[in-house]
Amino acid sequence: MVDANQHHQQKQVLQPVLVLGPPLIFEHFESQYSHKYTFLKAFASSLPIEQFLETHRVDPTSIRAILCNPFQRVSAEVLRLLPSLGIVVTSSIGTDHIDLAECYSRRVQVATAGGLFSEDVADLAVGLLIDVLRKISAGDRYVRRRVDEFQPWNYPLGSKVGGKRVGIVGLGKIGILVARRLEAFGCRVVYNSRKEKAFVSYPFYSNVVDLAADSDALVLCCPLTEQTYHMVNREVMLALGKEGVIVNIGRGALIDEKELVQCLMEGKIGGTGLDVFENEPNVPKELFELDNVVLSPHAAALTLECFNSTCEDVARNLEAFFSSQPLVSPIMDA
């Protein structure tokens, strides 16, 4: 009987964590930390959050933490339902899915995956650029279609990577890693960012149109904000030109996707490599038939190493919060 009581008491002190949109890591994370937290799986229900809490008889004032992924909006409405909320932990680098202004006004801390993804995302950005220029994916399809034989002399020429002038939009943690990798290939790096970086010697452009006009390729590494929404519009694409390539590992809505499709169909730009899309998981069908387009399923950070590190980082942020310690990777402190 004593053991049963102790077990009951232990269950009583588990901290509730509201899970909105499960991170890829969640199943593993839950198995590792279910002894510390009660996971309220709102993502598994079709009910609005308020009704979900009512149905499961959860007192909204008991919830102090939210765990989410970048595909589930953490809106002001959701935040206002939880008067005791103290932290939102996202398994992503980006925070455009979280109402940061509301978090700030309510003194809710926000923690991200920090720099865990940076190297993996930079690797894929460079990989997409090489793929588009050297036609790797297109060549793979060409060989597979021929089955028994292929004729390299009939295959379109690719383009050299070394010597290309690559404009990086957003020279933060990921952007600088992309730049360093491209330097190793002999590329010349130029960039646009919110402000000029004193610690680099790369030429700075305050205007994305001017950056595009002086680049052979653009790599988008910046966050999605009101200011960066559709920053790559038709004017930028035309400035980049018919041989120009666009790589996006930031957020889909950095690009005006309809204009991108149109410019690709009209031959106004040379190609694109996309890991993100404006209306995920929907992808414009016109892109599927184009050999100068390489598509990736928002997978830039999906490596085993990153998976394990993200689990640890989420756990450390939650542990720090519930222990009243500084967060490991805060984007916003209370």
Check residue 6 and give its pLDDT: 53
Q: How far apart are CA 156 and CA 134, in angstroms?
A: 10
Q: In whole angstroms, how far apart are CA 270 and each of 191, 216, 245, 247, 304?
A: 20, 9, 5, 11, 33
Residue 194 known to be catalytic: no
Kindly name the residue from 97, 251, 257, 278 that is annotated as catalytic.
251
DSSP string, 222-233: SPP-TTTTT-B-
Alpha helices in the chain (DSSP H): 2-12, 26-33, 49-55, 76-80, 100-105, 118-134, 136-146, 173-184, 208-213, 234-240, 257-266, 304-322
User: ∠ CA(261), CA(125), CA(210), 5° rounding?
Assistant: 65
Q: Directed axis angle between helix 26-33 and helix 304-322, to 10°?
A: 50
25: tokens are: 């890591």
Number of H helices, E strands in the chain: 12, 12
314, 116 Cβ separation under 8 angstroms? no
Phi-psi bin for 4: left (phi > 0), alpha (psi -120 to 50), beta? alpha
17, containing H or E segment: strand 15-20
pLDDT for the residue numbered 1: 47
Print burial letters for 195-213: b (CB count within 10 Å at least 16), e (below 16): eeeeeeebeebeebbebbb
Alpha helices in 63-154 (DSSP H): 76-80, 100-105, 118-134, 136-146
Exposed / middle / buried, residue 2 (Cβ in 10 Å: 0-12, 13-18, 19+) = exposed
- Going by the DSSP 8-state scheme, the letter that residue 266 receives in this structure is H
- Residue in 197, 234, 191, 186 with CA at minimum distance from that of residue 210: 191
Query: Catalytic site residue 251?
Result: yes
**pLDDT score at 307:** 84
Question: First and final CA of the chain: distance in angstroms?
Answer: 43
Q: Among 199, 220, 212, which residue's Cα sits nearest to residue 241?
A: 212
- CATH number for domain 118-295, candidates 3.40.50.720, 3.90.1150.10, 3.90.1720.10, 3.60.21.10: 3.40.50.720
**Helices (DSSP H) in 62-117: which residue ranges?**
76-80, 100-105
**What is 2-116+304-329's CATH number, 3.40.50.720, 3.40.50.150, 3.40.50.300, 3.40.50.800?**
3.40.50.720
Of the candidates 64, 97, 181, 298, the residue annotated as catalytic is 298
What pLDDT, on a 0 to 100 scale, did the predictor assign at position 9? Answer: 47
> Has 280 been annotated as catalytic?
yes
In order along its 334 residues, the chain shows pLDDT tens digits of 445 555 544 445 789 999 997 667 788 889 999 999 999 999 999 999 999 999 999 999 999 999 998 888 899 999 999 999 999 999 888 888 999 999 999 999 999 987 788 999 999 999 999 999 999 999 999 888 876 777 777 788 999 999 999 999 999 999 999 999 999 999 999 999 999 999 999 999 999 999 999 999 999 999 999 999 999 999 999 999 999 999 999 999 999 999 999 999 999 999 999 999 999 989 999 999 999 999 999 999 888 888 888 889 999 999 999 999 999 999 855 4
CATH 3.40.50.720 residue spans of the chain: 2-116+304-329, 118-295
Q: Phi/psi at 32 (nearest 5 deg)?
A: -85, -25
Query: Among 30, 119, 280, 319, which one carries the catalytic annotation?
Result: 280
Q: What is the pLDDT of residue 3?
A: 57
